[in-house]
Structure formats: C-alpha cells, structure tokens
A = this chain, B = another copy of it.
Amino acid sequence: MALEHAILVSLAERSASGYDLARRFDASIGHFWKASHQQIYKVLGRMESDGWVESQVVPQDGRPDKKVYVITDGGRAELVLFTSKATPPEHLRSEFAVKLRALPFGDAAAIVDDVRVRRRSHEQQLAYYADSAARFYPHPDDIPDHALGGWLVLRGGMLAEQAGIAWCDEILQRLAGDEDDER
C-alpha cells in the first residue's frame, strides 16, 4: 500500500489537487509508481477520512473549481513512520522474462522484434532521465539535502535503464547474431 505514501511525499513537497497529482504521477514520481487519476481520487478520499490530508475547494475563473489537498501533521507523522519501517523486499515482475522463457515454444522472430522495441524504449527513457538530471541537477556534486532524494531516485532509474539495455544487447547477440548496428 505504497500509493498513499507516494501521494504523501508528493503533497509534502507541494500541495496539489487530485488532477495535479495525477499529472505528477505521469511525470516524475510516477516513473517508479504508476497511478491513474481514478485511483488517486479514491485514495485521497480515504486519506482525508484518515486525517492524513485536508482539502479545500479553490474556485478558479475560466476553469473548473479545484480541490486542493494539503498534508496534515498526521500525514507527516505517517511519513516518518513509513520511512522508519523496513521496506519489504521487492520482487521483479517481468512479463518479458516470461516471454523469453517461452522462447522454445513460441515465435522466436517476434520475440527478437520485441527485444529491439524494448531496447529502444529503454534508451528513450534513459535519455529522458539524463535530460532531467542535467536540467534539475546541473551540479551533481553539490546537491542540497532537500533535493537529494529526487536525485538518488533519478540515478536509480538511470541504472535500471542501463541494465535493461545491457540485457537487450546480450539477448540480441544470442538470438540475432548481433547483425544489427542500426543508427
């Protein structure tokens, strides 16, 4: 049940409406924890009745009203509690791995195509992270404490994408004889 905590972190950084949160989840935090707006609205409701957040309707002109959520002291306490407890071990969950394992029983050519697509999307994601890093953390050796978490998470994303690319390359070497040096 980490969505609550992801939302708490996001609200601790800056108050926001459900809609804003949904967009943040598309952009930054969501690279590590996806959530749809439907889910966010539902969880926000529960969090409000738990006293972790409070909302206030803000009228806007030329736009629909928005319900801005603010983290409460209770919410901040919950965040401290969350960080102080050990994270349960996370396990990978990769449909792609299942597919690789299905290699002898399936369509090898299609799988190879899929690996190429996957490699490209890892590359794109890595480029995106590198871009974010350059934009938001121009001096990696001198990052203030309040921004360190964001940087470290970005680094985790970059390392994961690099590993993904390396994996795809190994697979292609085995399955496609590495006959493609495109671009």
Residues of chain A at the chain B interface (Cβ within 8 Å)? 2, 5-6, 8-9, 12, 29, 31-34, 76, 79-80, 82-108, 110-111, 113-114, 117-118, 121, 145-146, 148-150, 152-153, 155-157, 159-160, 162-163, 166-167, 170-171, 174-175
Question: B residues within 8 A CB of A90?
Answer: 93-96
Number of copies of this kind of chain in the complex: 2
6 closest Cβ pairs, A-B complex: A83-B106, A103-B149, A32-B97, A163-B163, A2-B95, A84-B107
Question: B residues within 8 A CB of A32?
Answer: 92-94, 97-98
The CA-CA distance from A97 to B6 in the complex, in Å, is 9
Complex contact B163–A98 (CB within 8 A):
no
